[in-house]
Amino acid sequence: MHRIGVLLTDNFQLLALSTMSVFEFANLVLGEPFYQLSIYSDQGGEVRSSTGVTLQTQPLDATASADTWMVAGVLDPLAAPASEQTTLFLRDAPRHARRVAGICTGAFVLAQAGLLDGKRATTHWAHAKSLQQRYPTIQVQDDRIFIIDEHIWTSAGMTAGLDMALGIVEKDFGAEIARNVAHRLVMNQRRSGGQTQHSEMLALAPRSDRLQNALEFARNNLSKPLTVEDLADAVHLSARQLSRLFRAETGKSPAKAIESLRLEAARLMIEQSRLSLDTIAREAGFRDRRHMREVFVRGYGIPPQSLRAGKAME
């Protein structure tokens, strides 16, 4: 039996509790109740979420123990620091627990307890700068889904907590069990810890259905030599109309938007597969490996080989 203790503070974000579903379904996949879930707060009793929903919790007293502690985040971590009792408890937790994890801005609570000193960590991208400024000894990596540094885990924005929980299941039981759990949860993909928080489709943020459909068409056909005319035909517009729409809604030309999608696709393949760079360049639609390298350096400031080397070190 592996005990999961979820630690909540007042105004916790309700989505943090979704991580418990990962362990619930892991038990179903395993066919036995391996993970035992408990919810704690410093004083116990009712704890109010940021939505107003309240939850009954157990107190952080002498009987509180877990093999894995998961600390929920809040909307404004600087305005709601953890209590002294919580920080003292967490400071001692690594002596007794297998791992301690911060979900989203829960990283601030871990930092307050001194658990992130000198370690790599991440948090929601909107709070990463504040985390780095307040705790300069932390190596904040604001573009990662989750990070493992020895026995300390941290995740990015709230849904990334699900990926981190799946990472814990994979660490305990292997990739096949984690994939089965992700499938049961109908998760679109099981994102690796090294994957970026940011999505090019979200960054482009088109408002019109036609432009969204054009981008989806492009993303599904990146290995082909796409032209503006191809995208325009797919959404029944002229090339001129589509170009005008692209610039108005995304600030980019169709060609630049396609290049951004190719770059993101290549990066994800580098992060998540062992395919050769030549194969990745071909699948992402670049002319060749050299062309992909040029776009990588222009877009990310590093060559693709550096990204793969950094992934191998994690």
247-283 pLDDT, tens digit per residue, is 888 888 999 989 989 988 888 788 767 889 999 999 9
Query: What are the structural domains, with CATH classification, of the chain?
Result: 2-184 (3.40.50.880), 200-313 (1.10.10.60)
Mean pLDDT of 11-39: 95
d(CA 314, CA 311): 5
Residue type, 163: D
d(CA 100, CA 176): 24
Mean pLDDT of 33-48: 96
Mean pLDDT of 137-155: 91
Strand partners, 47: 55
Torsion over CA of 233, 238, 241 and 243, rounded to 10 degrees? 60
Strand partners, 4: 37, 68
d(CA 166, CA 168): 5
Closest CA to 102 of 50, 138, 48, 137: 138
Q: Using DSSP, state whether 135 is helix, strand or coil.
A: coil
d(CA 170, CA 183): 14
- Residue pair 281/204 in contact (Cβ under 8 Å)? The answer is no
- Residue pair 123/141 in contact (Cβ under 8 Å)? The answer is no
Going by pLDDT thresholds of 50, 70 and 90, the confidence category of residue 211 is confident
pLDDT per position as a tens digit, 157-207: 878 899 999 999 999 999 889 989 988 998 755 555 544 555 555 556 667
- Residue pair 158/128 in contact (Cβ under 8 Å)? The answer is no
User: At CB < 8 A and 24+ separation, what contacts does 221-228 make?
Assistant: 222/258, 222/261, 222/262, 222/265, 222/283, 222/284, 222/285, 223/282, 223/283, 223/284, 223/285, 224/285, 225/285, 226/258, 226/285, 228/254, 228/255
Active site includes 104? yes
**Helical segments of the chain, H only:** 19-30, 84-92, 106-112, 128-134, 160-173, 175-184, 200-204, 209-220, 228-234, 239-250, 254-272, 277-284, 289-300, 304-313
- Cβ-based burial of 79 (10 A; exposed 0-12, middle 13-18, buried ≥19): exposed
- Residue pair 26/37 in contact (Cβ under 8 Å)? The answer is no
Going by pLDDT thresholds of 50, 70 and 90, the confidence category of residue 313 is very low
* pLDDT attached to residue 33: 95
Strand partners, 149: 152
* pLDDT attached to residue 192: 52
Q: Which residue reads 């953890």 in tokens?
A: 82
Catalytic residue among 4, 60, 104, 284: 104
The pTM of this model reads 0.66
- Residue pair 77/110 in contact (Cβ under 8 Å)? The answer is no
